[in-house]
Amino acid sequence: MAGALEGITVLDIGQLVQGPQAGATLADMGASVIKIELPMVGDLSRWVFCAAEDTRSAYYVACNRGKKGMTLDLRTGEGAGIFLKMVETADIVISNFKPGTLEGWGLGFEDLQRVNPGIILACGSTFGPIGPDAELEGADLAGQCAGGLISTIGYDDTPYTPVGVTIADHIGAQNLLSGVLAALFHRERTGTGQRIEGSLLGGQIWAQASEYTHYLMTDELPGRGHYSHPLLRGVYGIFRTRDGWIGIVGVPPDCREAFFEAVGHPELADDERYQGLLTHREDLTELSERLNPVFGTKTTDEWCAALRALGVRFAPVRDYAEASADPGAWENGYFQQVSDAAGEPRTIVGAPIRMSLTPLQPSGDVPALGQHTDEILARYGFSEQDIEGFRERNVV
């Protein structure tokens, strides 16, 4: 079955996660994505090894499966010229170099639009395309720090800690993807491409729009979560069980009496402090002190069964091994087993988007550095002699 973006060509010159993950999702949607990397070096994610003795890169595999791979030195005049020839028939270019880099190579949006008025250029950055920090380099942690996310994690008077995933990069990738899809729709109506900008800082602020709006409305800093959410202060948080942890996602009014009965504190059902989501922080501390010993009397599985029967919203706190063993995660395509070009099975993380008519079709193929260079250049009209010359001059 054809993908929604069949016939769309993407030139992905992104690095690490922010740009490449957007490109990987476009590939799953049916676009033809060409991954362009610096000769002899490649995407920097190739150097994030699984371990000292295991030089595979999970970051590269996760964000670049389903793409064709070529090398091209965009910093050279010859390399930039080849790239512009490719842009003539492309639809989308994805980049997350720091602002000004492409312009310095003669590959800014105006340069691309001169050869293809319909081109869509999606640019990711750390702090945004303008402003005093625009040209500062950064990565995921910079977005988490500067965007305020880390200020909400943990307990007061304890050291700050980042989220243990590249969450700012991921959100930045999804924002780029949203802009690209909207730009494609606009181009269908007008024939004109445009430049899309996204940033790690902006993505983190937007992801916390409700919490930032609370601050803007009240001048009150939400503060840190304390095993909960700093603004959702009812029976909403993480509790220790006999063998792990479980999250209680609020207790609806029609379940409140049964819930407090189940946890051995029926008197709390009528306690005005716990009737909604506006409980004071001090009262929440008292509630945790009363509930944690109770949750510690049963296993996580036992509490999951009990809460399911009560109709209380919950989720067990799982590690990656437990989450990836969840049958529902496989049924929904969040994990999939696909075949690579050699027919070997490969387990992948799938994009969590279901489409009824044009389902996403993830690939297990991951390009080696420069694997398809000759094939791609030949497709654009370059001869074997041309390609050999490029290689001798380290252009590819």
| Residues annotated as catalytic (active site), given as ranges | 169
Strand order in the sheet with 9-12: 68-71, 32-37, 9-12, 92-95, 120-125, 195-199
SS3 268: helix
Q: Is the C-alpha dihedral spanning 169, 333, 372, 379 positive or negative?
A: negative
Amino acid identity for residue 208 in this structure: Q
DSSP 225-241: -SSB-SS--SSEEEEE-
Nearest one of 109, 114, 82, 81 to 97, comparing CA atoms: 109
Inter-axis angle of helices 167-190 and 200-207, nearest 10: 100
Beta carbons within 8 Å of 119's beta carbon, 6+ residues apart: 87, 90, 91, 92, 93, 112, 113, 193
d(CA 38, CA 155): 44
Please say whether the beta carbons of 64 and 366 come within 8 A.
yes
Burial class (CB in 10 A: 0-12, 13-18, 19+), 126: buried
Q: How far is CA 212 from the centre of its chain?
A: 21
d(CA 246, CA 303): 8
Q: How far is CA 13 from CA 10, 45, 376, in A?
A: 10, 13, 15
d(CA 7, CA 91): 9
Q: How far is CA 381 from CA 135, 310, 387, in A?
A: 36, 67, 10
User: Scanning the structure block, which residue is given the tokens 């977005």?
Assistant: 143
Length of the chain: 396
